[in-house]
Amino acid sequence: MTLLEIDLVVYPDECDAFGHLNQASFLSLFERARWEMLRGGPGMDVFTRGGAWPALRKTVIDYRAAAFPGDVLRFQQVLTHYGRTSFTMRQTARRVRDDILIASAEFVFVCIDRDGRPIPVPQEFSEYMNARPDSPGNVRRITVHGVNLAVEERGKGPAVLFVHGYPLDRTIWREQIGALEGFRCIAVDLRGMGQSDSPDLGYSMSIYAADLAALLDVLGVDDVVLCGLSMGGYVAFEFLRQWHSRVRGLVLMDSRADADAPEVRRARDAAAATARERGAGAIADAMLPRMLAPATLSRRPDVAERVRALMARTPVAGIVGALAAMRDREESESLLPTLAGVPTLVMVGDADTLTPPDQARAMVAAIPGGRLAVIPGAGHLPPVEQPEATTASLREFLRSLG
Ligand code: MLT
């Protein structure tokens, strides 16, 4: 558990005649979780010390499953917007026993003084929540197709859209989007992962791709270089099928073009059952050894922990949805020869066992003018394992597009 996570027990007097946690009590548990979090951090008086009070202005709650007396709920809190006088906190409540998402909520606060006038959010609070003021480099929440996506943007110039793999999030691109000067780097959490909403249903490659197209519309971006890692590459293929003219260039990182073989489809279903029964932590434990190069695993515990933690916080609905979307995806090998007009870089870690270098070479051979970059010392996650070499290859490719 991190400091931003709080476990609370559901008591019988918080439940209705059917034994379900009632709505009023939900609200008070969300509130208690926020105060408990402050108690364990900068103190419950972090606002009043500076003469401020966080006045609640708006609440949106999505009730997903019933909770019952005795259930232990784990509340996670994330700051999704931080302005001068206002902030938005997203909270989720999951049942610890089965990691089921019980409810998610968004609370918008304005800090006010005793006369009700807006005053700045105490810096100590935002520092604790690990947020920075809203700026082009910070997380925005953009709603497309009824789903709230978390999006981070850095820099100015031709747009590059970074699409993460499974079960990951946009933070795998942290080092790249911070270092690729001269480009408008956009990193998004796909629906169901990271800080984006995770609906129970509605996952497929075409829905992920449609989300990206709608996101680009909202951002006013006509065409992009798409950079997809693994499942992000599958999404990029789907995007190409539907919006070919919007793709100025393509980076396929540790990805593959074939569809799932029958045994892989069965393994996807088994993994979905594991996620439902044992939660995201079990998926993270199973995936970690295959995600990273042996050298990363043995010599870089910080990297291993970062990757495990980000997989373990993926919502179960998003994991199950992504597994179904990958299982049912079309083959894209027939698309490769049609990429003549789309400059394409295929990148792969030299120690990737999930999508090995030989597979990358075969893709390059099928793409007219395709280029290859093999990143030494990386497994399935070059942007995290070898950030500098990955950024250097990306930079060289992006600059070559003119
Ligand atoms: C990914 O990293 O996105 C997955 O490993 C892709 C897959 O399982 O096919």
Segment 35-52 shows an average pLDDT of 93
Span from the CA of 134 to the centroid of ligand 1 (angstroms): 32
Q: Which of 235, 291, 326 to mutate to test the pocket of ligand 1 (most atoms within 8 A of CB)?
A: 326
DSSP SS3 for 382: helix
Segment 26-46 shows an average pLDDT of 94
Could you identify the atom of ligand 1 that is nearest to the CA of residue 231?
Answer: 3
Span from the CA of 399 to the centroid of ligand 1 (angstroms): 28
Span from the CA of 176 to the centroid of ligand 1 (angstroms): 20
Q: Which of 172, 230, 234 to mutate to test the pocket of ligand 1 (most atoms within 8 A of CB)?
A: 230
Question: Which pLDDT score, from 0 to 100, does residue 1 have?
Answer: 45
- pLDDT confidence tier of residue 90, bands split at 50, 70 and 90: confident
Span from the CA of 394 to the centroid of ligand 1 (angstroms): 21
- pLDDT confidence tier of residue 92, bands split at 50, 70 and 90: confident
Span from the CA of 279 to the centroid of ligand 1 (angstroms): 18
- pLDDT confidence tier of residue 135, bands split at 50, 70 and 90: very low
Q: Which of 310, 355, 385 to mutate to test the pocket of ligand 1 (most atoms within 8 A of CB)?
A: 355
Residue 133 pLDDT greater than 60, yes or no: no
Per-residue model confidence as pLDDT tens digits over 222-256 = 999 999 999 999 999 999 999 999 999 999 999 99
* Calpha distance 142→27 (Å, rounded): 25
Q: Whose CA is nearest to atom 7 of ligand 1?
A: 231
Question: Which pLDDT score, from 0 to 100, does residue 130 have?
Answer: 64
Span from the CA of 275 to the centroid of ligand 1 (angstroms): 15
Q: Which of 162, 164, 166 to mutate to test the pocket of ligand 1 (most atoms within 8 A of CB)?
A: 166
* Calpha distance 172→230 (Å, rounded): 12
Residue 3 pLDDT greater than 80, yes or no: no
Residue 397 pLDDT greater than 90, yes or no: yes
Residue 373 pLDDT greater than 70, yes or no: yes
Question: Cβ distance 107 to 37 under 8 Å?
Answer: no
Could you identify the atom of ligand 1 that is nearest to the CA of residue 380?
Answer: 2
Could you identify the atom of ligand 1 that is nearest to the CA of residue 326?
Answer: 9
Q: Which of 172, 203, 227, 231 to mutate to test the pocket of ligand 1 (most atoms within 8 A of CB)?
A: 231
DSSP SS3 for 117: coil
Span from the CA of 232 to the centroid of ligand 1 (angstroms): 8
3-state secondary structure 289-354: HHHCCHHHHHHCHHHHHHHHHHHHCCCHHHHHHHHHHHHCCCCCHHHHHHHCCCCEEEEEECCCCC
Q: CA angle at residue 325 from 218 to 318, to 5 degrees?
A: 70
Residue 298 pLDDT greater than 80, yes or no: yes
Span from the CA of 185 to the centroid of ligand 1 (angstroms): 23
Question: Which pLDDT score, from 0 to 100, does residue 98 have?
Answer: 83
Q: Whose CA is nearest to atom 9 of ligand 1?
A: 231
Could you identify the atom of ligand 1 that is nearest to the CA of residue 232?
Answer: 3
pLDDT above 70 covers a percentage of the chain that reads: 97
Kindly list the strands in the beta sheet with 224-229, ordered across the sheet, starting from the edge strand earlier in the chain. Answer: 139-144, 147-154, 184-188, 159-163, 224-229, 247-253, 344-349, 371-375
The helix (run of H) or strand (run of E) holding residue 360 is helix 357-366
Span from the CA of 46 to the centroid of ligand 1 (angstroms): 43
Per-residue model confidence as pLDDT tens digits over 310-340 = 999 898 999 999 999 999 999 999 999 999 9
Could you identify the atom of ligand 1 that is nearest to the CA of residue 290?
Answer: 5
Question: Which pLDDT score, from 0 to 100, does residue 146 have?
Answer: 79
CA nearest neighbour of 155 among 174, 136, 134: 136
Segment 43-62 shows an average pLDDT of 93
Span from the CA of 287 to the centroid of ligand 1 (angstroms): 10
Question: Which pLDDT score, from 0 to 100, does residue 338 have?
Answer: 97
- pLDDT confidence tier of residue 131, bands split at 50, 70 and 90: low
Question: Which pLDDT score, from 0 to 100, does residue 206 have?
Answer: 97
Residue 118 pLDDT greater than 50, yes or no: yes
Question: Which pLDDT score, from 0 to 100, does residue 148 have?
Answer: 83
Question: Which pLDDT score, from 0 to 100, does residue 169 have?
Answer: 95
Span from the CA of 39 to the centroid of ligand 1 (angstroms): 40
The helix (run of H) or strand (run of E) holding residue 148 is strand 147-154
What value does the mean pLDDT of the chain take? 93
Per-residue model confidence as pLDDT tens digits over 353-367 = 999 999 999 999 999
Span from the CA of 278 to the centroid of ligand 1 (angstroms): 20
How is residue 165 annotated by DSSP?
A: -
Ligand 1 site residues (CB inside 6 A) read: 165-166, 230-231, 326, 354, 380
Segment 116-131 shows an average pLDDT of 85
Could you identify the atom of ligand 1 that is nearest to the CA of residue 165?
Answer: 3
Residue 132 pLDDT greater than 50, yes or no: no
Positive or negative torsion for Cα 321, 378, 260, 332: positive
Higher per-residue confidence, 99 vs 287? 287
How is residue 15 annotated by DSSP?
A: B
